Amino acid sequence: MVRQLVCASLAVPLFAYSTWAQSSMAAAGKAVGLNIGAATNSNQLTGTSTYITNLKAQFNMVVCENEMKFQPTEGSRGKFSYRGGDGVSDFAKANGMAMRGHTFIWHSQSGWAANITGKAEILNVMKTHIDSVGGHFKDKILEWDVLNEITSDAGNGLRGTFWQAALGNDLPDTAFAYAHRVIGEAGHLYYNDYGAEGLNAKSNSIYNLAKRLVEAKAPIDGIGLQCHLSAGLNAKDISSNIKRLGELGLRVSMTEIDIKNGKTADWVNLMNACLENFNCVSFVTWGVDDSRSWIGSNCDCLLYNNNQPKAHIQALIEALGKADPTVTAKRKEFIAKGATRVAHPLQNARRMAAGNLLRNASSMPVFSVSSGAVLNILGRNQTSPALSH
Ligand code: GLA
User: Best of 69, 151, 286, 295 to mutate for ligand 1, by most ligand atoms within 8 A of CB?
Assistant: 286
- Could you report the per-residue pLDDT of 194-225, keeping only the tens digit for each? 999 999 999 999 999 999 999 999 999 999 99
Known catalytic membership, residue 256: yes
3-class SS string, the chain: CHHHHHHHHHHHHHHHHHHHCCCCHHHHHHHCCCEEEEEECHHHCCCCCHHHHHHHHHCCEEEECCCCCHHHHCCECCECCCHHHHHHHHHHHHCCCEEEEEEEECCCCCHHHHHCCCHHHHHHHHHHHHHHHHHHHCCCCCEEEEEECCECCCCCCECCCHHHHHHHHHHHHHHHHHHHHHHCCCCEEEEEECCCCCCCHHHHHHHHHHHHHHHCCCCCCEEEECCEEECCCCHHHHHHHHHHHHHCCCEEEEEEEEEECCCHHHHHHHHHHHHCCCCEEEEEECCCEHHHCCCCCCCCCCCEECCEECHHHHHHHHHHHCCCHHHHHHHHHHHHCCCHHHCCHHHHHHHHCHHHHHHCHHHCHHHHCCCCCCECCCCCECCCCCCCC
Is 204 in contact with 156 (CB distance < 8 Å)? no
CA distance 254 to 143: 12
Question: Does residue 379 have a pLDDT over 50?
Answer: no
Which of 256, 276, 318, 333 is labelled catalytic? 256
Measure 27 CA to ligand 1 centroid, in angstroms.
27
- Mean local confidence (pLDDT), 89-94: 98
Is 34 in contact with 326 (CB distance < 8 Å)? no
Known catalytic membership, residue 185: no
Which of 67, 149, 197, 276 is labelled catalytic? 149
- % of the chain beyond a pLDDT of 90: 80
- Mean local confidence (pLDDT), 72-96: 98
CA-nearest residue, atom 12 of ligand 1: 294
Question: Does residue 2 have a pLDDT over 90?
Answer: no
Question: Does residue 380 have a pLDDT over 50?
Answer: no
- Could you report the per-residue pLDDT of 260-291, keeping only the tens digit for each? 999 999 999 999 999 999 999 999 999 999 99
CA-nearest residue, atom 4 of ligand 1: 65
Nearest to 60 by CA among 87, 93, 25, 36: 36
Q: Provide the 10 A C-beta neighbour count for residue 244.
A: 17
- Angle at CA of residue 282, ends 279 and 283, nearest 5°: 125
User: Best of 40, 69, 256 to mutate for ligand 1, by most ligand atoms within 8 A of CB?
Assistant: 256
- Could you report the per-residue pLDDT of 222-252, keeping only the tens digit for each? 999 999 999 999 999 999 999 999 999 999 9
More confident residue, 362 or 309: 309
- % of the chain beyond a pLDDT of 70: 81
Measure 293 CA to ligand 1 centroid, in angstroms.
11
Measure 95 CA to ligand 1 centroid, in angstroms.
25
The residue count for the chain: 389
- Could you report the per-residue pLDDT of 107-143, keeping only the tens digit for each? 999 999 999 999 999 999 999 999 999 999 999 999 9
Is 258 in contact with 229 (CB distance < 8 Å)? yes
Atom of ligand 1 nearest to the CA of 66: 9
Atom of ligand 1 nearest to the CA of 69: 9
Measure 315 CA to ligand 1 centroid, in angstroms.
26
Measure 67 CA to ligand 1 centroid, in angstroms.
12
CA-nearest residue, atom 3 of ligand 1: 65
By the 10 Å C-beta count (0-12 exposed, 13-18 middle, 19+ buried), 306 is classed as exposed
Mean pLDDT of the chain: 86
More confident residue, 45 or 19: 45
- When pLDDT is cut at 50, 70 and 90, the band that residue 339 belongs to is low
Is 135 in contact with 177 (CB distance < 8 Å)? no
Measure 273 CA to ligand 1 centroid, in angstroms.
22
CA distance 55 to 363: 48
The ligand 1 site (C-beta within 6 Å) comprises 102, 148, 194, 226, 256, 294
Question: Does residue 3 have a pLDDT over 50?
Answer: no
CA-nearest residue, atom 8 of ligand 1: 148
